[in-house]
Structure 1
Amino acid sequence: MSNIVRCYVICEGQSEEKFINETLGPYFHNHLNIYLIPLTIPTSKRNKGGALSYDRVVNFIVKKLKEDSEAFMTTMFDYYGLDDEFLKENKAITDIYEYIEKIQKDFDDAIKQKCHTNKFFSYIQPHEFESLLFSDITKIIKADAEWDEKLICELEDIIKEYDNPELINNSKETSTSHRLKKIFSSPSYKKVLHGSKIAKEIGIDNIRSKCQHFNKWCEKIHNLKTYQNTKEKQ
Structure 2
Amino acid sequence: MVRLYLFAEGQTEQTFADTLIKPHLAQHEVFMHYPRLIAHARKKGKVHRGGGRNYEPMKNDILRSLKEDSNPDAFFTTMIDLYAIAPDFPGLAEAESKRQNPVQRVEFLEQRFADDISDPRFIPYIQLHEYEAYLFADPTCFEYLDARRTKEIEALKAIANQHETPELINDGQQTAPSKRIIARFPDYEKAKPAFAPQLAERIGLQIIRSRCPHFNTWLSQLESLNTIRLG
Length-normalised TM-score, structure 2 = 0.89
Q: 2-side partners of 1:192 and 1:82: how far apart?
A: 19
What secondary structure sits across from 1:195 in the alignment? Answer: helix
Unaligned runs of 5+ in 1: none
1:111 Cα offset (Å):
0.4
How many residues are matched?
220
1:47 Cα offset (Å):
4.7
- Listed as ranges, the matches of 1:47-126 within 5 Å are 47-70=48-71, 71-86=74-89, 87-93=92-98, 94-112=100-118, 117-126=119-128
Letter in 2 for 1:15: T
Letter in 2 for 1:89: E
Q: Is the 8 A contact 1:11 1:39 kept in 2?
A: yes
Q: 1-side partners of 2:93 and 2:23: how far apart?
A: 35
Q: 2-side partners of 1:142 and 1:36: how far apart?
A: 31
Unaligned runs of 5+ in 2: none
Q: Is the 8 A contact 2:135 2:199 kept in 1?
A: yes
Letter in 2 for 1:138: T
Q: 1-side partners of 2:144 and 2:169: how far apart?
A: 21
Match of 1:10 in 2: 7
What secondary structure sits across from 1:75 in the alignment? Answer: strand
Q: Is the 8 A contact 1:147 1:184 kept in 2?
A: no
Length-normalised TM-score, structure 1 = 0.88
What secondary structure sits across from 2:36 in the alignment? Answer: strand
1:205 aligns with 2:206: yes
Structure 1 vs Structure 2: percent identity of aligned residues?
34
Deviations 1:74-132 (A, max 9, x none): 110010010122213221112111111110001100101xxxx2100100011010001
- Listed as ranges, the matches of 1:210-221 within 5 Å are 210-221=211-222
1:27 Cα offset (Å):
1.2
The CA RMSD measured in Å over matched residues stands at 1.7
Match of 2:164 in 1: 163
